Structure 1
Amino acid sequence: MDPGVADLSRLQFALTALYHFLFVPLTLGLSFMLVIMESVYVMTGRAAWRQVTRFWGKIFGINFVLGVATGLTMEFQFGTNWSYFSHYVGDIFGAPLAIEGLMAFFLEATFVGLMFFGWDRLSRLGHLFVTFMVALGTNLSALWILIANGWMQNPVGSDFNPETMRMEVSDFGAVLFNPVAQAKFVHTVSAGYVMAAVLVLGVSAFWLLKGRWTAVARRSMTVAAAFGLAGSLSVVVLGDESGYALTDNQKMKLAAIEAAWHTEAAPAGLTLFGMPDSVAQTTRYSVQIPWVLGMIATRSLDGTVTGMSELVLQAQERIASGQVAYQAVERLKADPKDTAARAAFEQHKRDLGYALLLKRYVADPAQATPEIVKRAAWDTVPNVPLMFWSFRIMALIGFLMIALFAGAFVIASLRRHDQYRPFLWAAVAAIPLPWIAAELGWVVAELGRQPWAIEGVLPTFLASSSLSRAALWTTIAGFTLIYGALAVIEVRLILATIKHGPDEDEAQAPAPVGAPIPAQPLAA
């Protein structure tokens, strides 16, 4: 396998994934913000809230279309660029994706048209139900995608079958209730709520600064302040829960995030700032807060956070065990009834994936020298400086979001929406921050898993398709051009929608609760 092919396949998937994730969180958050806004309209009967809901529904619709288009491209790549991945784990990984399409995506597709075109054809309660179903479908879609991704991070409920030479499901319940998937889902969804709230808050602040559509801006800001404060607090709390999940399931990722080169005496301190040096295996100029890391990661004062050096030694032991499993598999291929080989495989099968790390250096892992085993063990250490700084910038933005929404909540509660112009400018300037944090979060999640496509099961360099570098460069260039054009189109559409503002004819007398809103004559 040409290592450049795997690297280019990773680059292409990273570009499409990071681009796709520009749209997904905003869709997640805006969907439930629309439910809140429309619920106020249904309860109060005030047409101004219908105006607010319909405006932000337009922003949701623009973003929704781009999210669907880019998401479909990503799923196709599992067949085009990652064919061995699909062959090796498709029985497991494909199930959540199929359920997502059948349950969540079809649910969205069924109701999204009614949400946009049913305002004058459904009762207020009926339309609110439709909006809620779109929000439910959107968030269920994220759930199933993150169950699939969580299994890649922590492959529970599955076993390697030497007869089929593939991973197969042994406990689908364990796949569904994977603790890593649960932590990722609630954290990711909360981040999406923050992104949507920041956009609504920032646009509302901009309108207030310009003195335009102030009634809509004040209402939107009030919803964004409350929704964003709850979401930002949830992101931090659930991010802490995600860190705790890493302690049991992804110790190397946790150690890389904290640049913990060696195991410290419990409880370990949290490195607030430092300059990780991968060559010297130390963190220069480090500033630590005593005990904090140990308390976050282990929920105790006596639990230890294992350092990367010790984890590499453990990886060497697992590679040696995996070599035994690999040899047993080879014997079972020749003679499926070899009971001794079957017993050896059952004893060492959990480490089979570690033996596959050796294929980067030798065709037959059984022939690897101790030096090669050591080198392969060090491959399990991800890019420490990138992990270290990505996490800290993400966390800093998270705390800034809490401060921003706390200020907005106080201002909205006092009904002084337009009296603090410096704060309003800060709200406008803060719009890009949650997107930066979300992208860095995916960098931490996905690069922190390297060198694994599936943690401890399948190395990334073995998972790609047999493609040429020229084909990959061509598709990367094509995706970059197409996605770049789509990005320009979306930004211009959103800016044009914000500039146009809400439709003035929406501010009209509401229909009675439970009654259909009469359709306007075509001439109107």
Structure 2
Amino acid sequence: MPELLVADLSRWQFALTAMYHFLFVPLTLGLSMLLVVMEGAYVMTGKEVWRRTTKFWGTLFGINFVLGVATGITMEFQFGMNWSYYSHYVGDIFGAPLAIEGLMAFFLEATLVGLMFFGWDKLSRPAHWLVTFLVALGSNLSALWILIANGWMQNPAGSEFNPDTMRMEVTNFMEVLFNPVAQAKFVHTVSAGYVTASVFVLGISAWYVLKNRHLGLAKRSMAVAASFGLLSALSVVVLGDESGYALTDHQKMKLAALEAMWETEPAPAGLTLIGIPNEKEHRTEYAIHVPYVLGLIATRSLDGEVEGILPLVAVAEDRIENGIRAYTAVEALNENPNDVEAREQFEQTKTDLGYAMLLKRYVDDPATADRATIEKAAMDTVPNVMMTFFSFRIMAGLGFLFIAMFALAFYFVSLKRDVPRWFLYLALFAIPLPWIAAELGWVLAEVGRQPWVIDGVLPTFMGVSGLTVTQVIMTMAGFTLLYGTLAVIEISLMIRAVKLGPGARILPKGVGGGGPDTHNEPVPARPRTIQFDK
């Protein structure tokens, strides 16, 4: 069907733009807070090296910030271009957090970011630090409102379908705001951004130390990144556990899929460390299990049950049948809004209306679906098990790797004051890893929600615009070309800024300049370890 191909292509296009945009978001979140810490050291000590350090990392923050804003705006346009029915159906709810983000958070950071770059010689040290803090606050508030919107898509709390307007409407904005899924996603995502920036700063600083350049900046940056990164990496794991706990109540199928748990196990369920999901035969081959762990993490109890994929499919079948009754009632209310019997039937079955919509993939009228079609639609509620299973394990494995790396960094830099060269190379080559973890986290969150664009409410294939396949392919090709060009510009500017170091004019005059670094302490050629000042 052309409509389904348009939906698949639109998903690919949004995935392309979202994953590209998410290359910039974690670094922006993390660098903004690291700038607050570094400039705080400058305010307290008055040492010029801290000013140069802050301005140097501020330059890299500025390059990243500009590209992040440009790609974020493109994503919002797609809701109207490619997902117009989705925007119509839930715009009253989904649009509110996005509007608040633009008016509150983005306005704050966009207004003050110029003052942060150009106000060094015009503001006092405390005043400029306050500006930097407010830019960081705006960046993090932007993430909050975006993730409130995304969290609502994962768990549509505080809203319900109105048969009179044929749209989803807000019933309790506080439930939307304090959605447990949104709150868990926010703290986890922000902490992951802090880890990303800390690995970035640690790796580039390690390169400077290996090259015996800008050692004053590099050593101080490594010390900040090691401490901040260790705390952030620990919080990612702890807050990731909170995200998993939220899935137990609100996204049971996603939890079962990422564990490739086909049947419900006796409580507490075991955790599969590794294995190969066989989606055709509904089993996991070569699996290594750790008893009780999943049940303890997911339910925080010894008797809490984690439901398997196939039992949840059976539940979906019942919900589809109940949803058909809701759909029939909505059709009757469209013909006669005063039909008391139809309205009563709708009120009793409205929570399952979205499940009846899954049948529209196969039949025009869900009420005409036979048993085989209902069973087929119920199986559609299972996301891509292979993708979610491995995305979670790679992401979690990298999370524990970051804890170990930052623990070593803190030990070498802050306690031993002696960093071996092998660790400097490790820090340098680890720079891409947090982006891999972040992108896999996004894949897990979005693929694990399928087949829903709004969990349990609106199937993804129904949310698209009335575009042709050719139109979607052409816009996707245009975005790919544009983003490829922007990627080359971004990487080139970043590499140039790092190679030139502090004091270089990468951006317009006044941005990032800090004068020559006078802390290039000489070290022996290619020593086995790098001594840090006592």
Alignment TM class, shorter chain as reference: over 0.9
Residue deviations 1:249-286 (CA, integer Å, cap 9, x gap): 00000000000000001111000010100000000010
Which range is displaced more, 408-417 or 316-325? 408-417
Q: Which residue is equivalent to 1:479?
A: 479
Please tell me the residue identity of whatever aligns with 1:190.
S
1:245 aligned onto 2:246 = yes
| Contact 1:50–1:507 under 8 Å retained in 2 | no
Q: Percent identity?
A: 68
Q: Which residue is equivalent to 1:451?
A: 451
Please tell me the residue identity of whatever aligns with 1:348.
T
Aligned residue runs from structure 1 range 87-98, under 5 A:
87-98=88-99
- Rounded to whole Å, the distance in 2 between the matches of 1:454 and 1:49 is 47
State the 1:236 CA deviation: 0.4
Question: Tell me, what secondary structure is at the counterpart of 1:414?
Answer: helix
- Rounded to whole Å, the distance in 2 between the matches of 1:415 and 1:487 is 39
Task: Could you tell me which runs of 5 or more consecutive residues in structure 2 were left unpaired when the two chains were aligned.
Answer: 504-513, 519-534
State the 1:414 CA deviation: 2.8
1:258 aligned onto 2:259 = yes
- Rounded to whole Å, the distance in 2 between the matches of 1:22 and 1:405 is 22
- Rounded to whole Å, the distance in 1 between the matches of 2:170 and 2:153 is 13
Please tell me the residue identity of whatever aligns with 1:434.
P
Q: Which residue is equivalent to 1:161?
A: 162
- Rounded to whole Å, the distance in 2 between the matches of 1:476 and 1:342 is 43
- Rounded to whole Å, the distance in 2 between the matches of 1:52 and 1:17 is 31
Question: Tell me, what secondary structure is at the counterpart of 1:2?
Answer: helix
- Rounded to whole Å, the distance in 2 between the matches of 1:338 and 1:205 is 72
State the 1:427 CA deviation: 0.3
Aligned residue runs from structure 1 range 87-486, under 5 A:
87-414=88-415, 416-417=417-418, 419-486=419-486
State the 1:506 CA deviation: 6.1
Residue deviations 1:461-512 (CA, integer Å, cap 9, x gap): 000000011111111111111101100110010000000011262669xxxx
State the 1:413 CA deviation: 1.1
| Contact 2:269–2:305 under 8 Å retained in 1 | yes
Task: Could you tell me which runs of 5 or more consecutive residues in structure 1 were left unpaired when the two chains were aligned.
Answer: 509-524
- Rounded to whole Å, the distance in 1 between the matches of 2:76 and 2:494 is 26
| Contact 1:35–1:135 under 8 Å retained in 2 | yes
- Rounded to whole Å, the distance in 1 between the matches of 2:474 and 2:130 is 45
Q: Which residue is equivalent to 1:505?
A: 515
Aligned residue runs from structure 1 range 41-120, under 5 A:
41-120=42-121
| Contact 2:502–2:517 under 8 Å retained in 1 | no
When the two structures are superposed, what TM-score results if normalisation uses the length of structure 1?
A: 0.96
| Contact 1:267–1:291 under 8 Å retained in 2 | yes
- Rounded to whole Å, the distance in 2 between the matches of 1:119 and 1:507 is 17
| Contact 2:214–2:517 under 8 Å retained in 1 | no
Please tell me the residue identity of whatever aligns with 1:144.
W
Residue deviations 1:98-137 (CA, integer Å, cap 9, x gap): 0000000100111000000000111111100100000000
State the 1:415 CA deviation: 5.6
| Contact 1:48–1:506 under 8 Å retained in 2 | no
Residue deviations 1:398-433 (CA, integer Å, cap 9, x gap): 00000000000011113635x400000000010000
- Rounded to whole Å, the distance in 2 between the matches of 1:412 and 1:309 is 51
- Rounded to whole Å, the distance in 2 between the matches of 1:353 and 1:272 is 34
Task: Give every structure 1 segment of 4 or more consecutive aligned residues whose post-TM-superposition deviation is greater than 4 Å.
Answer: none
- Rounded to whole Å, the distance in 1 between the matches of 2:241 and 2:423 is 29
Please tell me the residue identity of whatever aligns with 1:505.
G
Q: Once superposed, what is the RMSD of the aligned Cα atoms?
A: 0.9
- Rounded to whole Å, the distance in 2 between the matches of 1:389 and 1:116 is 42
When the two structures are superposed, what TM-score results if normalisation uses the length of structure 2?
A: 0.94
- Rounded to whole Å, the distance in 2 between the matches of 1:338 and 1:472 is 42
Q: Which residue is equivalent to 1:517?
A: none
| Contact 1:313–1:377 under 8 Å retained in 2 | yes
State the 1:233 CA deviation: 0.3
Question: Tell me, what secondary structure is at the counterpart of 2:453?
Answer: strand
Please tell me the residue identity of whatever aligns with 2:299.
T
Please tell me the residue identity of whatever aligns with 2:486.
L
